[in-house]
Amino acid sequence: VVSEGGTYPYAPETTSDEARSYWMAPPAKTYVALDRDRIFGTYFLKPNQPGLGSHVANAGFMVDPDRQGRGIGRAMVEHALMEAHQIGYRAMQFNLVVRTNVAALALWGKVGFDIVGTLPGAFHHSELGFVDAYVMYKSLDGHR
């Protein structure tokens, strides 16, 4: 997913160790979706900001490209929203949703995220050059 250079800000040449270090660095909690012993999806959940902004969660999701479109992303985001609410977060924010990541934009919209800001040319897409990205936000008040 990272090596494609189309949805995540990590450099395509990021090593597995570097990616693991970022994805699993405290205070993040990391979750995986398994089929037998094979990981086919993962997400992290952490405070979006330290201190006075720590009541807003941030999460990042990855699904094996061969398994995309099968509801795995939706199951993980629903789990993340439930976990975030149980932990005590009041909202969740995605800081960099690339405009060309149509599947993610559609999914985040279906589960109640709103685009609250546009970041012009904020993402250097591997094929398209500089493209816009969005900040997306969802309140967790009343979430079950």
Greater pLDDT, 117 or 22: 117
User: pLDDT tens digit string along 70-92?
Assistant: 889 999 999 999 999 999 999 99
**SS3 annotation, 79-129:** HHHHHHHHHCCCEEEEEEEECCCHHHHHHHHHCCCEEEEEEEEEEEECCCE
Q: What is the mean pLDDT of residues 19-27?
A: 71
pLDDT tens-digit profile of 25-34?
A: 777 899 998 8
Residue 135: CATH number of its domain: 3.40.630.30
Is there a domain that residue 144 lies in?
A: no
For residue 7, the model assigns a pLDDT of 58
**Domains identified in the chain, total number:** 1
What pLDDT, on the 0 to 100 scale, is given for residue 59? Answer: 96
* pLDDT number for residue 143: 66
50 within domain boundaries: yes
Assess whether pLDDT exceeds 50 at residue 3: no
- Cα dist. 13→1, 4, 23, 99, 131 in Å? 11, 10, 16, 22, 20
Expressed as residue numbers, the domain containing 54 is: 2-139
pLDDT mean across residues, the chain: 88
